[in-house]
Amino acid sequence: MKRVILIGATVSLLAACASVPQRSEQVEQARAEINTLAQQPLAQQAAARDLDAARASLQQAEAAEQQKAPPEVVDHLAYLAMRHAQAGEARVSEARARQEVARGQEERNKILLDARTRDARNAQAQAQSAQLQAQNAQAQAQSAQAQAQSAQAQAEAERAQAEAAKEQALAAQQQLADMQKQLADLQAKKTDRGMVLTLGDVLFDTGQATLKPGADLVLGRLSTFLSKNPQTKIMIEGHTDSRGSDEYNQVLSQRRAQAVADALTARGVPADSVRTLGRGKAYPVASNDTPEGRQQNRRVEIIFSDASGQFVQGAT
């Protein structure tokens, strides 16, 4: 009985094994190859037809395998599927290579473009720098020209000033010569106090400060000189002999100096050009012991400034 059961189990196992189709190694390899191709990013773009053909051949191989076709038929269909998948992978590799080449070319073109752009910018910067240098050079040339013109104008101005100064000096010399001649005509004498004109006591009566009519001639000539030389100022000093007190002679000398000043201002001489000073009997020029000496001491002295209105130091 046990043997019958064992034989039955064995027969059932053999029947079951006969009903399960054999798995083809070629089919597994083709399926793995197709899966590898399908996962490629460029599969649909570069190898869509190969992928479709590979899948179709794989389906045929799997159907043949299900239908228990001869192994060589199944293997042949699986081989076709694998070849289509390999062709697709080759196309994908080629497309990837083309992309890499295109990417490299694009990168090269970008590098070239950047280089050209950089060169163009450098050339533009150099051109701008050259233009700026040219403008600076032109500005410097213009500045140098302006400086030269300014120097020339300054030189001309200095030359004109020198000529004017020379003319002024000549004019001053001529004026001084004329003034000295006029003073000489007035019989003024050069002293350490400057040019001094001495008027004797014939201008006044004894003990008086009123000018005599005979003074008109000399005072007229003096006022004419001052009108021709308006920058000249005069100091009028009155002097007396020793007779009388100091106070009397001081007052008398001041009154006589003022009488001459009033006579000149009456003839048009500006009052600010005339100064008066009474010296009394303090500065005799001769002995007061004789009538002749006292006559020389009774005098009016007129001291002249230079052409600029300045007196010699110590003149007053």
Residue 292 lies in a domain: yes
Count: domains in the chain = 2
Whole-number Å distance between alpha carbons of 197 and 4: 190
pLDDT over 80 at 14, yes or no: no
Q: What is the CATH number of the domain that holds 239?
A: 3.30.1330.60
On whether both 184 and 297 belong to a single domain, the answer is yes
98 in any annotated domain? yes
The position carrying tokens 């228990």 is 68
User: Residues 61, 65, 68, 71: is their CA dihedral positive or negative?
Assistant: positive
Share of the chain above pLDDT 90, in %: 54
Residues 122 and 55 in one domain: yes
Burial label for 110, CB within 10 Å (0-12, 13-18, 19+), is exposed
CA 215/CA 260 separation, integer angstroms:
9
DSSP for the chain, please give it. Answer: -HHHHHHHHHHHHHHHHHHSPPPPHHHHHHHHHHHHHHTSTTHHHHSHHHHHHHHHHHHHHHHHHHTT--HHHHHHHHHHHHHHHHHHHHHHHHHHHHHHHHHHHHHHHHHHHHHHHHHHHHHHHHHHHHHHHHHHHHHHHHHHHHHHHHHHHHHHHHHHHHHHHHHHHHHHHHHHHHHHHHHHHTT-EEETTEEEEEEEGGGB-TT--SBPGGGHHHHHHHHHHHHH-TT--EEEEEE--SSS-HHHHHHHHHHHHHHHHHHHHHTT--GGGEEEEEEETSS-SS-TTSHHHHHHHSEEEEEE--TTSPPPTT--
Looking at the structure, do residues 125 and 213 belong to the same domain, yes or no? no
Nearest Cα to Cα of residue 69 among 29, 21, 116: 21
pLDDT confidence tier of residue 184, bands split at 50, 70 and 90? low
Asked if residue 35 is part of any domain, the answer here is yes
182 and 259 both lie in a single domain: yes
Residues 194 and 299 in one domain: yes
How does residue 5 score in pLDDT terms, banded at 50, 70 and 90? Answer: very low
The residues near 31 (Cβ < 8 Å, ≥ 6 apart) are: 58, 81
More confident residue, 179 or 20: 179
Q: Would the pLDDT of 21 be above 80?
A: no
Looking at residue 207, its pLDDT comes to 81
Q: Does any domain span residue 16?
A: no
- Would you say residue 142 lies in a domain? no
What is the C-alpha separation between 225 and 258, in angstroms, rounded?
Answer: 19
Q: What is the pLDDT of residues 60-119, one digit of tens each?
A: 999 999 999 999 999 999 999 999 999 999 999 999 999 899 999 988 998 988 888 898
Q: Do 218 and 118 share a structural domain?
A: no
Residues 289 and 212 reside in one and the same domain = yes
Residue 256 lies in a domain: yes
CB of 238 closer than 8 Å to CB of 303 = no
In a domain, 158, yes or no: no
Residues 105 and 183 in one domain: no
Residue 256, domain extent:
174-304
Among 293, 313, 292, 315, which residue's Cα sits nearest to residue 302? 315
pLDDT at site 13: 36
Last residue of a domain, one of 134, 166, 194: 134
Percent of the chain with pLDDT over 70: 87
Q: What was the pLDDT predicted at 161?
A: 87
Amino acid at 299: R
Q: To the nearest 10°, the Cα dihedral for 35, 41, 45, 47?
A: -30
> Of 134, 165, 192, which residue is a domain's last?
134
Q: Which of 23, 34, 37, 32 is nearest to 56 (CA)?
A: 34
Pairwise CA distance, residues 152 & 165, whole Å: 19
In a shared domain, residues 130 and 178: no
Domain check: are 119 and 187 in the same one?
no
Note the pTM of the prediction, 2 decimals: 0.48
Claim to verify: residue 182 and residue 238 sit in the same structural domain: yes
In degrees and rounded to multiples of 5, residue 283 shows phi and psi of -130, 70
How far apart (Å, rounded) are the C-alpha atoms in residues 212 and 215? 6
In a domain, 32, yes or no: yes
